[in-house]
């Protein structure tokens, strides 16, 4: 078969069949790890020149936003076959991440920082709840369950960090507002 297919077409065929050859959950686990790792340099680029409170919010927002966007698109594609609650939860997580970028990059206001402090943890934890529901419903294969557990932990950690990182930013902006330096 390999000799009958030109080399370029053979590589395309192997790459397109690779996800089907892996157990359910493994491609998603690889994608979560890759999206996280690959978005870190982008986060560092955006956050490099910012004060620490803003840099933390922007860094987390870029990484979580990249992951949310990737898995939102994945969930939207799943809708062609079956209902995927991720089409809703990842959209909210992405929107919260966008608010975090806006607030952290200085384009936002005290209001946007406060919105991020509440919306991001809530939306990120909602993604974790979605994974937990999947974990309850799906018993096999074990690889899909491992992915769901990793997803629960990843998004819970993102939610905790969102609250922890946004609180100093809100405090800084609130101080500036009361000092008359911020409207």
pLDDT given for residue 110 in this prediction: 84
Q: Could you give the dihedral angle defined by the CA atoms of residues 88, 36, 28 and 141, in that order, rounded to the nearest 10 degrees?
A: -100
Dihedral sign computed on CA atoms, order 23, 24, 27, 32: negative
- Contact, 56 vs 158, CB < 8 A? no
Instruction: Report pLDDT digits (tens) over 59-74.
Output: 999 999 999 999 999 9
Instruction: Report pLDDT digits (tens) over 155-180.
Output: 999 999 999 999 988 887 777 666 55
φ/ψ region of 106 (left if φ > 0, alpha if ψ in -120 to 50, else beta) reads left
- Nearest to 165, CA basis, from 78, 59, 87, 91: 59
pLDDT given for residue 180 in this prediction: 58
| Tens-binned pLDDT, residue by residue, of the chain (183 aa) | 455 555 566 555 545 555 557 788 889 999 999 999 999 999 999 989 888 888 999 999 999 999 999 999 999 999 999 999 999 999 999 999 999 999 888 766 888 888 999 999 999 999 999 999 999 998 888 999 999 999 999 999 999 999 999 998 888 777 766 655 555
Please give the model's pTM, rounded to 2 decimal places: 0.81
φ/ψ region of 25 (left if φ > 0, alpha if ψ in -120 to 50, else beta) reads left
Backbone angles phi and psi of 137, in degrees to 5: -75, -45
Q: Where are the beta strands (DSSP E) in 23-115?
A: none
């Amino acid at each position: 078969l390999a000799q009958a297919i030109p080399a370029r077409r053979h590589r395309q065929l192997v790459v397109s069949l690779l996800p089907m050859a892996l157990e359910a959950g493994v491609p998603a686990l690889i994608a979560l790890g890759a999206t996280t790792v690959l978005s870190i340099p982008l986060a560092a680029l955006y956050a490099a020149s910012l004060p620490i409170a803003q840099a933390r919010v922007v860094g987390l927002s870029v990484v979580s936003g990249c992951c949310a966007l990737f898995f939102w698109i994945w969930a939207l594609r799943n809708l062609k076959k079956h209902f995927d609650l991720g089409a809703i939860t990842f959209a909210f997580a992405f929107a919260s991440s966008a608010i975090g970028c806006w607030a952290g990059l200085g384009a936002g206001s005290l209001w946007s920082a406060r919105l991020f402090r509440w919306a991001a943890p809530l939306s990120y934890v909602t993604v974790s709840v979605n994974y937990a529901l999947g974990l309850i419903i799906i018993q096999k294969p074990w690889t899909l369950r491992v992915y769901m557990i990793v997803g629960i932990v990843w998004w819970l950690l993102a939610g905790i960090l969102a609250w922890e990182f946004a609180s100093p930013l809100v405090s800084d902006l609130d101080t500036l507002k009361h000092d008359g330096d911020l409207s």
